[in-house]
Structures are given as C-alpha cells and as structure tokens.
Amino acid sequence: MPKSGKKKVLIVDDAEFIRNRIKKVVEKIENADVIGEALNGDEAITLYKELKPDLVTMDLIMPKSDGIKAIEEIIKIDNKAKIVVVSAMGQELTITDALGKGAKEYIKKPFKDEDLYRTIERFLNT
C-alpha cells in the first residue's frame, strides 16, 4: 500500500520485464508508489475500479483485451483519469486512437528511463 500522501500508480503491460522496469522508474519518484500491476486490459479496468490510482501506464497490444478498450472503459469510470501509454514503435495509428480515447501522453518502447520518469512525474504533479 502506498505511504500516506504518495501518488498511486497502476502499471499495465503483459511483459513482466517491462512492468519491472516501469516499477523501478516509479520507485525513483519521491511522491509515488506502484499500487498494482495488470497483464491485460480487463485486469486494468478491474484494478482501476478497486485501487483508484492517480496515474496508469498502459501498454496497447496485450492478450485477451487491449489497451484501447481499457482506456475507453477507464475514461467512462473516471473522465479525469491520467493514462500514459507506453507501447511499441510502429503503432502510430493506434497511439493516435489511444490519445483520442482519453490517454494523456504516449511514450514509445523502447523508452529511456529518464523520459518515462519525467512524464510520470509531470502528470502526478498536475
């Protein structure tokens, strides 16, 4: 559970090594804690309802249900949700779609840790 006053981050990605890498970046942000991890869009929606995170990092291409569907559903639950897409290159149309559905920003994989850090920190502090 997050320490009091810390911002809550939910990480959504089917690849464990990516979730771990994002988690390490979030742990470097003084006022943030990872409160949950989801492997697909369905889990992301369930955990968003349960945990009410301040920010979600969202992969777009995942088994079972994708990130676009999850973004749509999360925005229906909370139209102020802060969702940062972290997804592979070569998906420009999908990224544009994600931003159109309510994601705030996108970071292309492979990403630089410092770029992800700056983006997450910026959205947590707005």
The DSSP result for 53-69, as a single string, is -SEEEE-S--SSS-HHH
73 in Cβ contact with 40 (< 8 Å)? no
Cβ of 89: how many Cβ atoms within 10 Å? 10
* Rounded distance between C-alpha atoms, residue 29 and residue 38, angstroms: 20
Residue extents of the structural domains in the chain = 7-120
* pLDDT of amino acid 5: 84
Give the E-state strand segments of the chain in sequence order.
7-12, 32-38, 55-58, 83-88, 105-109
Mean pLDDT along residues 63-84: 95
**How many Å apart are CA 54 and CA 63, to the nearest integer?**
25
In the predicted structure, residue 71 carries a pLDDT above the cut 80: yes
CATH number of the domain located at residue range(s) 7-120 in this protein: 3.40.50.2300
- List, for residues 31-59, the tens digit of each pLDDT value: 999 999 999 999 999 999 999 999 999 99
Q: Give the separation between CA 57 and CA 73, rounded to whole angstroms.
A: 15
Question: Within 10 A of 105 (CB to CB), how many other CB atoms are there?
Answer: 15
Q: Express as a percent the part of the chain with pLDDT over 90.
A: 83
Distances in whole angstroms, Cα of residue 65 to Cα of each of 40, 71, 74: 6, 11, 13
